[in-house]
Amino acid sequence: MIVLSLFFLYNGVRNRVIALKIKGVVRKNWERVETSYTKVVHVNYQNTVYYISATYFDKIRSPKWIKVKEEEVCILKDYYMTIQILPVGKNYVVTAWLDDKGTILQWYFDITARNFIGEDQLPYFEDLYLDVTFDLKDRMIVLDENELKEAYEQKIITPEQFALVYQELDKIVENVRQYKEALIKVSDRWYHYFIEIFHKELEKAREEKEEEIHMIDSNGNLITKKNQVRKYIYPGLRVKIVLKKDQPTGILTEGTVMKILTHSPIHHQGIKVMLEDGRVGRVQEIIQ
């Protein structure tokens, strides 16, 4: 993690403004994304905690293209990845966008009012509007400067924060130009760290799916869902069950598993469990 020290250590002025947009590492309800997976780790270096978040895009509904100078560049397709580095207490967040081979497509810097950890223990930041991107061809683009100026004129941000944005911008430009090779190494290192994790988990999921599809119980019933397989049901799991009295209507009851009552490894009607409130039924859906 020595290369992380190559990022600037400027603390800056961090005044909280309620009107600023708070962003997190997990982007929810992104219409163009069908399936994605996110992992977050953190490391400590020189009294700063860095949160490194990777999102692997397994299935995309529509690719994302950006224009860099006169060139159209696709930065989001199936099997692409983003790696975000967020240092707690600093005033920047950098996100590397990489293709399915791990090639860096761009670095995207958000300048922030503050970086912090939420109640869910995930990293968040308050956005200060101005962003800047760089790519391997040394092309730099400053984004949303008009929004920054409007926010300042409308007193959404303070004069100190307005000045902080340009101080951080100068430091970002200087450090990227001076330490570009180190930034490449940081991005490459974390890409290979996370891609190995994602590939193992996806392979395991595919194997489990294949196993379920080909499972047949003693009566010749095809087993296709996890609610029918005992090994996927355990105490503490949130589920929806169908009570015996509700079988004609199909009404489901939600609760937490306390005890597994089915002894066989599979059952085509769902594994029978007792919930923490004492109600008994067969699992129809797994919530978490």
Residue range 232-274, pLDDT digits in tens: 899 989 999 999 999 888 899 999 999 999 988 888 889 999 9
More confident residue, 160 or 216: 160
The pLDDT score that the predictor gives to residue 100 is 93
To the nearest whole number, what is the mean pLDDT of the chain? 86
pLDDT of residue 8: 34
Range with the lowest mean pLDDT among 20-34, 54-68, 77-91?
20-34
Domain map of the chain by residue range?
A: 2-199, 222-286
CA dihedral angle for residue 153, residue 157, residue 158, residue 163, rounded to 10 degrees: -90
List the CATH code of the domain at 2-199.
Answer: 2.40.380.10
Residue 215 has pLDDT above 70, yes or no: no
Query: Quick check: 224 pLDDT over 70?
Result: no
Q: Residue type at 186?
A: V
248: left (phi over 0), alpha (psi -120 to 50) or beta: alpha
Distance CA(121)–CA(90), nearest Å, equals 17
How long is the chain?
Answer: 288
When mean pLDDT is compared across 41-45, 138-142, 218-222, the lowest value belongs to: 218-222
Helix locations, 154-279, DSSP H:
159-178, 180-213
Q: What is the DSSP string of 121-162?
A: S-EEEEEEEEEEEE-TT--EEEE-HHHHHHHHHTTSS-HHHH
Least confident of 160-164, 202-206, 259-263: 202-206
Give CA–CA dist 133/176, Å, rounded: 10
d(CA 209, CA 203): 10
Rounded CA-CA distance 97/76 in Å is 8
